[in-house]
């Protein structure tokens, strides 16, 4: 580990990271989509050691505000990966992405920290796209949420002996995402624990065909989204942990809406083929659920995470 680089003194960066939805039905642990709902973060280097976090919005009073905070740990991980000593830090987080609902909040926190580190280290260490993805995957465990958070759009992520890789695709302008968010949360670890070690050969083939079709539907043919979002690999196994989500997805799909579990759930993602279809889906859920669901009518984010090193801080 090198000594603290004097160029870090007084630096401040601002980071913006989108929410994400992973799996998209059949694309388990592979496909992810960035959504136009953003957490924002400002990080300033302090003269005193240690890290202090001010959390505003979602997670305020709940998430740690010291060095154990996931964003701080992600900054520290990135500094360590490139042999840099971590300075004292002051973080101000403005969070809107719901926690524990399948919208990539932990991935967004990890990406926020890594992008903050990239900005703070500008001119000291250069971190390319694959470096960002590698650091994020080391912390998250799999790249399907962090890839779209980093790069925006629709991402295909896979892992090689050389590390995680990604391909970003531009989504057809007719694709209109709707996310329905319940009051209850869902643990990603619990959702994963319900997944079997193996699945029937026929189910694997089914999902290969649907995930391939899904890419075509998202980038070229939105009218195919209902067929393309069918899944036999993970959603049915997790249904017992979120029965209301499972029931409403069944009702939405029976009515012709391409509804799937968003990430690990329990939120529902509806990949509508036109904006008007979203309002119909919202009405259906409102009329058939006894519990309240928040409706997030969102655009696809095409830019991904951004970081700005304040111009007056650059030497």
106 is in an annotated binding site: yes
Q: Where are the beta strands (DSSP E) in the chain?
A: 12-22, 31-46, 51-57, 88-95, 154-160, 163-169, 176-182, 259-261, 268-272, 293-297, 306-309
27 is in an annotated binding site: no
State the CB neighbour count (10 A cutoff) for residue 222.
23
* Separation in Å, CA 69 to CA 94, 115, 135, 258: 14, 16, 17, 36
37 is in an annotated binding site: no
Tally the residues of the chain: 315
Region at 50 (left for phi over 0; alpha for psi -120 to 50; beta for the rest): left
100 is in an annotated binding site: yes
Structural tokens at position 271: 């990949």
Separation of alpha carbons 130 and 114, rounded Å: 12
108 is in an annotated binding site: yes
88 is in an annotated binding site: no
Structural tokens at position 240: 């017992």
102 is in an annotated binding site: yes
Ramachandran angles phi, psi of 187, nearest 5°:
-80, 125
310 is in an annotated binding site: no
**Residue 271: DSSP 8-state:** E
Chain mean position to CA 93: 17
141 is in an annotated binding site: no
Q: Which helix (H) or strand (E) holds 216?
A: helix 201-219
**Residues forming the annotated binding site?**
98-108
Question: Which residues contribute to the annotated binding site for ATP?
Answer: 98-108
């Amino acid at each position: 580990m090198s000594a603290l680089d004097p160029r870090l003194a007084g630096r401040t960066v601002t980071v913006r990271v989108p929410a994400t939805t992973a799996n998209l039905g059949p694309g388990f642990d592979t496909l992810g989509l960035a959504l136009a709902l953003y957490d924002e973060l400002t990080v300033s280097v302090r003269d005193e050691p240690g890290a202090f976090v001010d959390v505003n919005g979602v997670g305020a009073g709940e998430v740690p505000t010291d060095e154990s905070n996931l964003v701080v740990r992600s900054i520290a991980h990135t500094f360590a990966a490139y042999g840099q000593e971590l300075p004292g830090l002051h973080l101000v987080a403005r969070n809107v992405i719901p926690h524990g609902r399948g919208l990539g909040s932990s991935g967004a926190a990890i990406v926020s920290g890594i992008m903050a580190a990239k900005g703070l280290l500008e001119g000291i260490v250069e971190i390319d796209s694959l470096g960002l993805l590698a650091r994020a995957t080391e912390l998250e465990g799999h790249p399907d949420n962090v890839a779209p958070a980093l790069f925006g759009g629709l991402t295909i992520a896979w892992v090689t002996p050389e590390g995680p890789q990604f391909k970003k695709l531009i989504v057809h302008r007719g694709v209109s995402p709707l996310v329905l968010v319940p009051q209850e949360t869902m643990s990603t670890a619990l959702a994963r624990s319900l997944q079997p070690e193996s699945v029937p050969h026929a189910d694997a083939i089914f999902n290969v065909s649907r995930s391939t079709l899904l890419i075509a539907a998202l980038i070229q043919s939105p009218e195919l989204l209902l067929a393309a979002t069918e899944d036999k690999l993970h959603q049915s196994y997790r249904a017992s942990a979120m029965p209301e989500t499972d029931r409403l997805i069944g009702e939405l799909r029976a009515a012709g809406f391409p509804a799937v579990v968003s990430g690990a759930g329990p939120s529902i993602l509806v990949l509508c083929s036109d904006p008007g279809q979203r309002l119909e889906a919202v009405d259906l859920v409102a009329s058939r659920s006894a519990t309240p669901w928040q409706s997030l009518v969102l655009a696809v984010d095409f830019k991904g995470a951004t970081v700005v090193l304040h111009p007056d801080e650059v030497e």
